[in-house]
Amino acid sequence: AQKVTQAQTEISVVEKEDVTLDCVYETRDTTYYLFWYKQPPSGELVFLIRRNSFDEQNEISGRYSWNFQKSTSSFNFTITASQVVDSAVYFCALSVNTGTASKLTFGTGTRLQVTL
């Protein structure tokens, strides 16, 4: 069975601070995929990134960056120079190859509050 742990329940930062959201996963599959989603107050989940287990290169997209380390089973998400609009709940998720449907296992989420 798959498991995703987001140990940080809530984080508060002041605008322009950098913040890292932690994600630790467990799976026995050698091929798997990791995701991050953002859930703003409106409730809809917004897809941010997908990484496969064979690609450990870190990725940067504007102020967002992701650090994937198989050795520690972690897929951490860093927001540089945070802004108020980054306030949301962020979910890390994992899927494995189980046929024709993508079944995501989600962590419990980290609520990020960015204040002025």
To other proteins, the closest distance from the beta carbon of 116 in angstroms equals 25
To other proteins, the closest distance from the beta carbon of 20 in angstroms equals 19
Q: Are 18 and 87 in contact, with CB atoms under 8 Å apart?
A: no
To other proteins, the closest distance from the beta carbon of 50 in angstroms equals 5
Joined together, the tokens standing for residue 107 give: 């962590």
Specify the residue, 52 or 83, whose C-beta has the smaller distance to other proteins: 52
Among residues 27, 23, 32, the alpha carbon closest in space to that of 5 is found at 23
Q: Which residues of 27-36 are buried (b: 16+ CB within 10 A; e: fewer)?
A: beeeebbbbb
Specify the residue, 12 or 98, whose C-beta has the smaller distance to other proteins: 98
Residues engaged in binding other proteins (CB under 8 A): 33, 35, 37, 42-47, 50, 52, 91, 95, 97-104, 106-109
How many helices and strands, by DSSP H and E, does the chain display? 0, 12
Specify the residue, 17 or 56, whose C-beta has the smaller distance to other proteins: 56
